[in-house]
Amino acid sequence: MKTAVVTGASRGLGEAIAKKMMEKGIQVIGVARKNSDNLPSYEGKDNASYTYRYGDLQDTAACAKVFEKLAEDIFTKADDTVYLINNAGVVGPIAPADAYSLSEWEAHMAINLTAPMLACSTFLKYAKTYNIPLVIVNVTSGAAERSVHGWSAYSTSKAGLNRYTETVALEEAEAGTNNIAIAYNPGIMDTDMQADIRSSEPEKFQDVQKFKDYVKNKSLRDPMFVAGVLADVLTGSEIENGKRYAVKDFV
């Protein structure tokens, strides 16, 4: 049976992705600081189930051990495709660049950039050792491609993740492996992250009113819809290695 690892699966898009992958008959392992309230009892197709693994992605050393043990457990038993979906992420700190503390910057980059890179590196190593196809999905953002006042950390981490994804895809293609790496831009959704953005102070985030208007105008997509698009891409006939997929291209 196929297996999917989803980081940040306790809520929001991560929880929705886990559900949609289970509905495709894929076993899901969620990595987060706390378990989901809904996933343990969620019924997937063909008895696909959910397993929780604790992981604090802000703690890089501990995170490396979690991914190493997880990859070993999965690939030594796998007989079909493994999906690594690096969904966990934070938008804060939201403030002009000169207002960040070192600890805030380090925590942000640990979660948004270092953790996905660690996971990819570890899973690629095991995929090659055991000759099991690996599909990597790094969840990105439109902020990676444009500058937004107050989002220097977020835009930087997502832009870095995009380039990392493309580089991994290039390396795997040149090596002739069956491994694939893509990015996925989910757009704006009705999640806790959006609520955090709307609570920002205007002097720290000039676009705060725009994000409040998204709610008034009902512009926020349901995470289950966004997750469903990704699940369809991953289980479709062909995935384009290195591509930046975006939910807006499917609506």
For 75-119, what is the HEC assignment? Answer: HCCCCCCEEEEECCCCCCCCCCHHHCCHHHHHHHHHHHHHHHHHH
pTM here is: 0.94
Mind listing the domains of the chain with CATH numbers? 3-187+222-250 (3.40.50.720)
| pLDDT of res. 46 | 93
| pLDDT of res. 71 | 99
| pLDDT of res. 207 | 74
Query: What DSSP state is assigned to residue 143?
Result: G
| pLDDT of res. 122 | 99
Distance CA 53, CA 67 (A): 10
Q: What is the mean pLDDT of each run of 10 residues along the chain (251 residues)?
A: 97 97 98 95 93 97 98 98 98 93 97 98 99 99 93 97 99 98 95 79 79 80 97 95 97 88
Q: Answer yes or no: are the C-beta atoms of 152 and 97 closer than 8 Å.
A: yes
The residues annotated as belonging to the active site are 154
Q: What is the pLDDT of residues 4-40, one digit of tens each?
A: 999 999 999 999 999 999 999 999 999 999 999 999 9
| pLDDT of res. 186 | 97
